[in-house]
Structure 1
Amino acid sequence: PDGYTIGGFNDSVMTMVPNLQSNIRWDILRDFEPVSLVATVEWGLIASNNSSYKTAADLIAAAKAAPGKIDYGSGGPGSPQHLAMAMFASAAGISLTHVPYKGATQAATDVAAGQIPVGFQGLGTVAALVRGGQLRLIGVTTEKRLSQFPDVPTVSESGLPGFFFNSWFAIMAPAGTPKDIVARLNAEAVNAVADPEVRRKLEDLGFVVRGSSAPELGALTREQLAKYARVIKEMGIANE
């Protein structure tokens, strides 16, 4: 490895897929060298306009009153939307019915159409629908409220204290790439995301620009890989 082969990966590939598929031929910790975190995608709990849910607490109360009777959509079995809602339901002590779609956009569109009442989605997928009044954003899964949606409470403050979920994108190099080359790649990546034009383009796409050191990305990968291993096992989630 000489630094001329690098890859951009999302956390689904890096930390969810290895816990859902036993036949993959690579190991994210063994076969790759972390370079830098690039950006995160913040997430939100969405509800159709014809539902009665205005906060996470409303959904939790309704689900406790009617266990298993409320459907939620996801991008498919084992998708980030599936994991987010499974984690939410487990933490809240409620039972919801999973309706898998063939992609996140289709799931979001059906919430907007009133075909399904709720779901979790990356804000980049649903921001335009929210701003256009086509669906309701009833909570964000960040630690603090977002400047883009200052009137929308966090899920943590509006029904489920401590709940947090996001996704992220990172740059990786092949294992064995010399450390001085990794350091150079990291410096270039951090400089790139600090560029105002690059930041603007990423933010326009719904990303929150980050940047990190290589060790920070490595630690984040190990932490999330272990967390999703535990969540997927405890909740019996399968990539059907």
Structure 2
Amino acid sequence: MQRRVFLQQGLAQASAVSAMGLSAGGSWAQAGYPNKPIRMVVPLAAGSAVDNAARIVMQKASVGLATGIAIENQAGASGVIGTDRVAKSAPDGYTLGGFNDSIMTMLPNLNAKLPWDIVRDFEPVSLVATVEWGLVVPADSAWHTVADVIAAARKTPGKINYGSGGNGSPQHMAMALFASQAGLQLTHVPYKGATQAAVGLAGREVDAEFQGIATVNALVKAGKLRLLAVSTPKRLSQFPEVPTVAESGLPGFEFNSWFAIMAPAGTPKAIVQRVQSEVVKALGDAGVREQLMAQGLTPRGSSPEELATALRAQLARYEALIRQAGITAD
């Protein structure tokens, strides 16, 4: 059975016209907001794909908002702690969350005791980008293809270790799905974040990982990691010589993740629309798009309503996938 885990490509980028179609209250909010710096809490380690995207996009958005935007990394507990901080912040537009789909749609399906509810406690602002993924190994690994990894894993069941950013993280999810589809027994080694897992892989602490291209791009270019295949439907223009996992022996295998901006529940609609408008404008900037794409990120953008629809659909999708693959947070 094909397992496809990706945000539907048809999710349209919100238009600047709809983003700016505010009521009289919205006009007031534009005039009075913001009047002090904004902070964006990223509940992941510095250097992660989401962190990189947040810094690129929000630096540009800060120009339109005419205020500083500080990115604050608060990693820990697979993102639970930092996300809770956003949920409990004042709904005034001065605290935003930069979340990946692991936090928004994986964690809720793996942990029934979260201190927040992703639907109830947050206001969707905008989708920012999808993070394209790939299978990576240490640069001096004996494996040069996906077929090499599969053959080795089948020869020694349970002996091959893979790293991830933690239990229930996208790295965990991607490799569990890969192992399930290929019929492999692998051993999971959770780290305290995607960046730490990537560094551990480069140091040969583990044998292989699925990682966001943005997270491992520098390590691949520095010759410390080898990118065996990408998990996109087609080859990436940044790595035209690297095959897809699907064409390397696992037809139909696709995986990506995404990054979106959320605000605390109760944040005025006019403020949400103001932030969304500037984010979409930033994503339309050629320089921003070039920087994102160079790191393996695909610029998106959406309306709050489109993000809300995608969020609910992904929650349902992951509920089925997690149950099917038998993935747990323990």
Q: Fold conserved (TM > 0.5)?
A: yes
Cα deviation for residue 69 of structure 1 reads 2.1
Cα deviation for residue 106 of structure 1 reads 2.7
Residue 95 of structure 1: aligned partner = 185
Task: Normalising by structure 2, report the TM-score.
Answer: 0.65
Structure 2: gaps spanning 5 or more residues = 1-90
Paired residue type of 1:32 = F
Q: What are the within-5 Å matches in structure 2 for residues 134-173 of structure 1?
A: 134-173=224-263
Q: Could you say if the C-alpha distance between residues 111 and 182 of structure 1 is closer, same or farther in structure 2, counting changes exceeding 3 Å?
A: closer
Residue 117 of structure 1: aligned partner = 207
Contact 1:39 1:208 in 2 (8 A): yes
Q: Which has the higher contact order (CA 8 A, sep 6+)?
A: 1
Cα deviation for residue 239 of structure 1 reads 2.7
Q: What is the rounded CA distance, in whole Å, between the counterparts of 1:77 and 1:189 in structure 2? A: 31
Cα deviation for residue 166 of structure 1 reads 1.5
Partner of residue 226 from structure 1, selected from 316, 319, 328: 316
Residue 216 of structure 1: aligned partner = 306
Q: Could you say if the C-alpha distance between residues 50 and 220 of structure 1 is closer, same or farther in structure 2, counting changes exceeding 3 Å?
A: same
Q: What is the rounded CA distance, in whole Å, between the counterparts of 1:179 and 1:104 in structure 2? A: 33
Residue 37 of structure 1: aligned partner = 127
- Count how many residue pairs are aligned between Structure 1 and Structure 2: 240
Partner of residue 169 from structure 2, selected from 76, 79, 88: 79
Residue 57 of structure 2: aligned partner = none
Residue 67 of structure 1: aligned partner = 157
Q: What is the rounded CA distance, in whole Å, between the counterparts of 1:11 and 1:78 in structure 2? A: 11
Q: What is the rounded CA distance, in whole Å, between the counterparts of 2:307 and 2:275 in structure 1? A: 13
Q: CA RMSD in A?
A: 2.4
Q: Name segments (4+ residues, structure 1) moved above 4 Å.
A: 1-6, 174-185, 203-206
Cα deviation for residue 129 of structure 1 reads 1.4
Structure 1: gaps spanning 5 or more residues = none
Cα deviation for residue 171 of structure 1 reads 1.9
1:166-192 residue CA offsets vs partner (Å, 9 max, x unmatched): 121112244455666655543332112
Q: What is the rounded CA distance, in whole Å, between the counterparts of 1:58 and 1:227 in structure 2? A: 30
1:89-112 residue CA offsets vs partner (Å, 9 max, x unmatched): 111111111122233223222322
Q: Could you say if the C-alpha distance between residues 216 and 58 of structure 1 is closer, same or farther in structure 2, counting changes exceeding 3 Å?
A: farther
Q: Could you say if the C-alpha distance between residues 25 and 99 of structure 1 is closer, same or farther in structure 2, counting changes exceeding 3 Å?
A: closer
Q: What is the rounded CA distance, in whole Å, between the counterparts of 1:176 and 1:169 in structure 2? A: 21
Contact 1:75 1:102 in 2 (8 A): yes
Partner of residue 187 from structure 1, selected from 270, 273, 277: 277
Contact 1:60 1:159 in 2 (8 A): no
Task: Normalising by structure 1, report the TM-score.
Answer: 0.87
1:73-130 residue CA offsets vs partner (Å, 9 max, x unmatched): 1122222111110011111111111122233223222322333221111112211111
Q: Which has the larger radius of gyration?
A: 2
More moved, 181-190 vs 56-65? 181-190
